[in-house]
């Protein structure tokens, strides 16, 4: 992480700290003339450092929650379309998933959690079973876009690894984990995220952990659709269903590609084992050759070096040359 990234992150954190201290509506209105929706939209950049994007999303969350005027301007200014364009590039950041759901459930996004777990996602839902009004529902499409980007990348990497035979492009351990996870998904869903073995585990960031994190988030959304009528109604919107269709085919392609790589990995392992056995067998054969050759030489010297019938003739029986 370069110095300019560190300075940018410090600036974003200072802007957030200043904004959360403003209590007066008049001062807040003046503040949003400086830190406007256009400025926050300008910060949205696919090339931004992942740590910077987390601070940008935190600033956006604080600004949306602080002022309905800011939220309206962000909506009319194409802010949600900007998120749909940019956030798929940060598909491997569980913190951004969590910020989006915090905003949807009207929960504060600051101060940030040091690490995110699925336990924190479920804590967003009211524990007393009461209904909660969902906000900024357009953000849900960004969640789907991030998950789709995850499986699209996984599919491309898996297909490339299968075509080239280079499994270093996708870790064998990741393939095994995904195949195991896919088998779990085919079973009966019973409180998936609540019962899932990684429920209390930290959601790791990074490309290698992205499929597992995206799968956990999708499990969480399945639970939400079962337990939250407002969220279930939100999921029945035509535009959301259309995005889910695209996500479904992305998941299907990724699952098929992973199975192909899994088969290639097993074939490669079997070939390596066979090669190892052949090498070991060859080494044993070569190591036994000198002893056999030595025994053969001794036999030829003792029995085959002289004509049969003269092998036991002594020097006294040999005829002397005539003088």
- The owner of tokens 């900007």 is 82
Number of domains into which the chain is organized: 1
Token code pair at residue 261 = 């790589």
Q: Is residue 107 part of a domain?
A: no
Residue 158 is assigned to a structural domain of this protein: yes
Confirm if 87 and 54 have CB atoms less than 8 A apart: no
Domain containing residue 229: 137-272
Sequence-distant (≥ 6) Cβ neighbours of residue 178 within 8 angstroms: 154, 211, 212, 255, 258
Position 243 in a domain: yes
For residue 161, give every residue at least 6 positions away whose Cβ sits within 8 Å of its Cβ, in sequence order, or none.
167, 168, 169, 170, 261, 264
Asked if residue 47 belongs to a domain, the reply is no
Does residue 318 register a pLDDT over 50? no
Q: What is the pLDDT of residue 298?
A: 47
Enter the pTM of the model: 0.76
- What are 45-57's pLDDT values in tens digits? 999 999 999 999 9
- Please name the helix (run of DSSP H) or strand (run of DSSP E) that holds residue 109, with its range, or none: none
**Residue 187 domain-assigned (yes or no):** yes
Of 76, 106, 100, 72, the closest CA to residue 86 belongs to: 100
pLDDT in tens, 110-122: 988 888 988 899 8
List the single range of 82-96, 185-199, 206-220, 241-255 with lowest mean pLDDT: 185-199
Please give the Cα distance from 234 to 127 (Å, whole number): 20
- For residue 11, being part of any structural domain is answered with no
The model's confidence at residue 180, banded by pLDDT at 50, 70 and 90, is low
Over residues 311-320, mean pLDDT = 45
Which three-class secondary structure state does DSSP give residue 8?
helix
Residue 198 counted as domain residue: yes
């Amino acid at each position: 992480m370069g110095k300019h990234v560190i300075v940018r992150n410090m600036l974003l954190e200072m802007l957030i700290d200043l904004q959360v201290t403003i209590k007066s509506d008049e001062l807040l209105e003046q503040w949003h003339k400086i830190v406007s929706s256009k400025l926050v939209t300008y910060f949205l950049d696919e090339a931004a450092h992942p740590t910077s994007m987390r601070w940008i999303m935190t600033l956006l969350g604080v600004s949306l929650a602080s002022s309905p005027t800011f939220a309206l301007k962000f909506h009319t200014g194409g802010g949600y379309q900007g998120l749909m364009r940019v956030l798929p590039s940060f598909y491997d950041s569980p913190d951004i998933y969590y910020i989006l759901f915090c905003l949807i459930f009207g929960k504060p996004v600051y101060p940030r959690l040091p690490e995110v777990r699925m336990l924190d996602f479920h804590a967003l839902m009211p524990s007393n079973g009461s209904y909660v009004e969902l906000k900024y529902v357009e953000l849900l499409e960004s969640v789907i876009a991030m998950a789709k980007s995850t499986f699209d990348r996984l599919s491309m990497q898996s297909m490339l690894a299968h075509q080239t035979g280079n499994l270093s492009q996708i870790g064998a351990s990741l393939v095994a984990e995904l195949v195991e996870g896919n088998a779990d998904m085919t079973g009966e869903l019973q409180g998936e995220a609540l019962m899932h073995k990684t429920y209390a585990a930290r959601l790791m960031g990074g490309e290698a952990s992205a499929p597992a994190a995206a799968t956990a988030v999708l499990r969480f959304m399945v639970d939400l659709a079962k337990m939250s009528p407002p969220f279930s109604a939100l999921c029945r919107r035509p535009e959301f269903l259309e995005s889910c269709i695209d996500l479904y085919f992305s998941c299907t392609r990724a699952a098929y590609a992973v199975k192909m790589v899994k088969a290639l990995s097993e074939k490669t392992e079997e070939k390596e084992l066979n090669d190892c056995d052949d090498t070991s067998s060859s080494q044993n054969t070569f190591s036994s050759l000198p002893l056999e050759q030595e025994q053969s030489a001794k036999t030829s010297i003792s029995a085959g070096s002289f004509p049969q019938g003269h092998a036991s003739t002594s020097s006294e029986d040999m005829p002397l040359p005539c003088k």
